[in-house]
Amino acid sequence: LLSYDLVLRGGTVIDGTGAPRAAADVAVSGGRIAAIGRLDGARAECEIDAAGLVVAPGFIDAHTHDDRLLLESPDMAPKASQGVTTVVTGNCGISLAPLVAADVPAPLDLIGDGGWYRFPTFRAYREECEARPAALNAAALVGHSTLRVGTMATLDRPATPAEIGAMRGKLAEALAAGAIGLSTGTFYPPARAATADEIVAVGEPLAAAGGLYCTHMRDEGDRIVEALDETFAIGSRLGVPVVVSHHKLAGRRNHGRSAETLAILAERMRRQPVCLDCYPYRASSTMLSAERVGQAERVIVTWSKTRPDFAGRDLADVAKSLGLGLEAAAEAIRPAGAIYFVMDEADVRRILAFPETMIGSDGLPHDARPHPRLWGTFPRVLGHYCRDERLFGLEEAVRKMTGLPAARFGLAGRGVVAVGAAADLCLFDPATIADAATFDDPDRPATGIAATIVSGRVVWRNGAPTGERPGRFLRREVTASPAAG
Ligand code: ZN
Ligand code: CU
């Protein structure tokens, strides 16, 4: 009689590769999947009845700002509650490490005030994560804006050769200590003056280390085609794969243009490795800035340092109560964060359905009134867009959040339900899975997630964290993974 640590009995396996579902039991031993099939005779220390449930690979959140959440709230409830088992941190040019700073400019303040920027090296950050593990795994990017803030006295100019050398050295240290790549955010003030040449020079260690390049591009509106061209050029000059972060078309003038951008992306993918992520909402969220306000149909304040009482309120109300115009009100309550309704639903759907699009929440876990994507992204794709709107089949939805990101981020042996793979799993009810977080009530955990399992240990069950902390720091491995197709 075979004996395992854990058996999930009677579920329907969707394996993350896009292959059709199949009824099977899944057995786990030593943190890995040990057997898949009819396991009637098998015994286990722990059995979970999976009847009526889908057994899928744990979801990989391809785009997060969870650098600090891993340390501060190791239960990782916003993500564990959605079935996420791995988060990719350090996106949009901002990572917590390496940087020691008492005070940081926006948007670095989205993930922490000065007190949290206390890691002189990436290794110091990784060691703290490993000394106090979280419930979920992490794969970490190094932010170019973080490197700039830690290296340059003024940010409104390209870096000098000496500064480039210093940033390159910090990136090399981080890659040696386990970072998976570099992120940039040339859209944002701390990196707006950075040229493509600067990024290519700073990113020089990526190719040898097998790292990748992720970017919140310089422009997601009128000049998006130029921004895509710059991104492709940087990727090919660096000789590394590119991830276009949270692909979107912002501003009414650009609505509908995803047909154009996805055609450009598809064409480019035949010549160099490019992929993209997106979140399933038509509103974005980031720092509050007056220049962005005019582009949006509606703006909601997510936090304000000077006026915390305004969190959750429409900027239009705030402006009225301050007796100011929208832009002046935005200036008056900074530093602050906001939600911007800037996208077209048809673009969101077209981008989500594109075969190379991964799912990334882009959630901002420290906002007082966060965008609902923080708690709702994955169940919203599976429930709203897949089951209710039939945008794609369930196997394809699961692939976009498991096998595809595991292959693109080089997370070997993850993102698939296969014998020998890490036992990172999500059990969910396909009939009831749904996002519960809304713009008015953004902190509500999703429904329909029965269990989230990391390395064979149950970290979330019956709507609550279990207290288990099996999370690991994952390195990028560029050998082919089972879901590389
Ligand atoms: Zn971004
Ligand atoms: Cu982001």
- How many whole angstroms from 123 Cα to the centroid of ligand 2? 23
Nearest ligand to the CA atom of 220: 1
The pLDDT of residue 484 is above 50: no
Amino acid 480: pLDDT: 45
- How many whole angstroms from 469 Cα to the centroid of ligand 1? 28
Amino acid 485: pLDDT: 36
- How many whole angstroms from 241 Cα to the centroid of ligand 1? 18
Residue type at 114 in one-letter notation: G
Nearest ligand to the CA atom of 89: 2
Nearest ligand to the CA atom of 65: 2
CA separation for the pair 91, 411 (Å, rounded): 17
Provide the mean pLDDT of the chain: 96
Helices (H), 152-210: 161-176, 189-192, 196-202, 205-209
- How many whole angstroms from 447 Cα to the centroid of ligand 1? 27
- How many whole angstroms from 184 Cα to the centroid of ligand 1? 9
Residues with CB under 5 A from ligand 2 (ion): 91-92, 362
- How many whole angstroms from 304 Cα to the centroid of ligand 1? 19
- How many whole angstroms from 284 Cα to the centroid of ligand 2? 10
What tokens appear for 128 in the block?
């703290």
**Lowest-confidence region among 102-116, 270-284, 393-407:** 102-116
- How many whole angstroms from 92 Cα to the centroid of ligand 1? 4
Amino acid 479: pLDDT: 57
Rg for the chain, CA atoms, rounded: 21
- How many whole angstroms from 121 Cα to the centroid of ligand 2? 22
Amino acid 1: pLDDT: 66
Helices (H), 254-393: 258-268, 290-293, 315-322, 326-332, 345-353, 373-379
- How many whole angstroms from 44 Cα to the centroid of ligand 1? 44
- How many whole angstroms from 246 Cα to the centroid of ligand 1? 7
The pLDDT of residue 164 is above 50: yes
Nearest ligand to the CA atom of 64: 2
Amino acid 411: pLDDT: 98
Mean pLDDT of all residues in 296-308: 97
pLDDT band at residue 113, thresholds of 50, 70 and 90?
confident
- How many whole angstroms from 64 Cα to the centroid of ligand 2? 6
Nearest ligand to the CA atom of 215: 1
- How many whole angstroms from 92 Cα to the centroid of ligand 2? 5
pLDDT digits (tens, 9 = 90+) for 427-475: 999 999 999 999 999 999 999 999 999 999 999 999 999 999 999 999 9
Nearest ligand to the CA atom of 250: 1
Beta-carbon contacts of residue 471 (< 8 Å; ≥ 6 apart): 70, 74, 76, 129, 133, 134, 135, 136, 137, 138, 454
**CA end-to-end span of the chain:** 37
What order do you get walking across the sheet with 299-304 strand by strand? Answer: 283-287, 336-341, 299-304
Give the burial class of 223: count Cβ atoms within 10 A of its Cβ; 0-12 exposed, 13-18 middle, 19 or more buried: middle
- How many whole angstroms from 388 Cα to the centroid of ligand 1? 28
Whole-number percent of the chain with pLDDT over 70: 98
- How many whole angstroms from 286 Cα to the centroid of ligand 1? 7
- How many whole angstroms from 419 Cα to the centroid of ligand 2? 34
Amino acid 180: pLDDT: 98
DSSP 8-state class, residue 21: P
CA separation for the pair 146, 190 (Å, rounded): 9
CA separation for the pair 291, 303 (Å, rounded): 18
- How many whole angstroms from 466 Cα to the centroid of ligand 1? 31
What order do you get walking across the sheet with 59-61 strand by strand? Answer: 59-61, 84-89, 137-143, 181-185, 212-216, 242-244, 274-278, 357-359
What tokens appear for 224 in the block?
């998006």
- How many whole angstroms from 282 Cα to the centroid of ligand 2? 15
- Helix (H) / strand (E) containing 338: strand 336-341
- How many whole angstroms from 450 Cα to the centroid of ligand 1? 31
For every residue of 399-463, DSSP letters joined together read HHTTHHHHHHHT-TT-SS--TTSB--EEEE-TTT-B----SSSTTPPPBSEEEEEETTEEEEETT
Whole-number percent of the chain with pLDDT over 90: 97
DSSP 8-state class, residue 257: T
Residue of higher predicted confidence among 2 and 204: 204
- How many whole angstroms from 90 Cα to the centroid of ligand 2? 8
The pLDDT of residue 214 is above 70: yes
- How many whole angstroms from 252 Cα to the centroid of ligand 1? 19
Are the C-beta atoms of 215 and 231 separated by less than 8 Å?
yes
- How many whole angstroms from 208 Cα to the centroid of ligand 2? 26
Mean pLDDT of all residues in 218-236: 98
- How many whole angstroms from 385 Cα to the centroid of ligand 2? 22
